[in-house]
Structure 1
């Protein structure tokens, strides 16, 4: 009977140790998951904050050079000639002029 009692005691010790180790592993894994969730929530919050920020201001229009200006003047002259010839109506001329000058 002492051998049987010793076997039962040994089994109880092994089972208790296994339970303690299993609980510790579970708690540690739960802590890791909580850290990952927290990190993901922080990242999501930063993305939301970034998305709500005002967009950057629009770039200023490029400066016109002398070549650009002379090209536009030539095109305006051509439009004026077409209007004088009756090819363009007043509305068409005004629309083309507006597109050309921006």
Structure 2
């Protein structure tokens, strides 16, 4: 019986790892295809006609800086994105610095 449980646990770990790797590969491939599609669209798009430039909008009133709870929530969201493989270490560090400096 312990051998059966050990085999089932090993199978579950292998299947979970394979699923995670497969999902990450799929996301990366979809991102590459999206970049290729965007590049192809930009090359095919006609040059935009000259349009009059409107006066810039007045700056919005200064917003209060985020509270520590809001910063912590943003950092937790970033950590979740990092765990999912959406953010790289460098991107995480840059966003973390931005949040903590604001």
TM-score by length of 1: 0.45
TM-score by length of 2: 0.45
**CA radius of gyration, larger in:** 1
Higher helix share: 1
| Greater relative CO (CA pairs within 8 A, separation 6+) | 2
